[in-house]
Amino acid sequence: MRKLLNRRLGVVASIERYQWMAHKKGGQTHGNQEEIRILSEEDFDRHMSDHVTPWCFERYVEQYPDTFVSVVRQDNVGEWRLNRVGSIDELRPSAEAIGRGWVKRVDDFSSREAVEQAQKSDG
């Protein structure tokens, strides 16, 4: 599991990775990949700055110091796009989604368990 130094909180934060099943009825051949991580300046500039102007990163994290982002990539290709912003507990998949097997926490998206999960169909 990759760890990031969160300089503003002075701790090391993990990046949580989740592999979702494919939504075959929706045309997916590979389930979504999701990362949940502490908000970085790069994430802020890339995904949020246009939506929270006139805020700058420093001002935003001063006001909301424990902000995490969920980013998603579809079909194992392309750019990561912003999914949601909130606390780590708000962003984690629901107990129902985990219990029904729709999503699985993984360490590496290229691992056997992640690839198998991505190829399963949710319906």
Which H/E stretch holds residue 3? strand 3-6
Can you say whether residue 21 is alpha, beta or left, with left for phi > 0 and alpha for psi between -120 and 50 degrees? beta
13 neighbors 37 (Cβ within 8 angstroms): yes
pLDDT at 13: 57
Please tell me the distance from the alpha carbon of residue 34 to that of residue 114, in angstroms, as a whole number. 11
Query: Residue for token digits 């985990």?
Result: 98
Classify residue 93 by its DSSP letter.
Answer: P
Domains identified in the chain, total number: 1
pLDDT above 50 (res 107): yes
Range of the domain at 95: 3-119
Q: Given CA atoms 61, 13, 97, 103 in this order, what sign does their dihedral have?
A: positive
pLDDT above 70 (res 91): yes
Computed on alpha carbons and rounded to an integer, the radius of gyration of the chain in Å comes to: 15
Q: What is the pLDDT of residues 31-90, one digit of tens each?
A: 999 999 999 999 998 988 777 767 788 888 888 888 999 999 987 778 899 999 999 999
The CA-atom distances, in angstroms, between 54 and each of 3, 42, 51 are 30, 17, 9
What is the per-residue DSSP string for 6-45? ETTTTEEEEPEEEEEPB-GGGT-SS--EEEEEE--HHHII
pLDDT at 123: 65
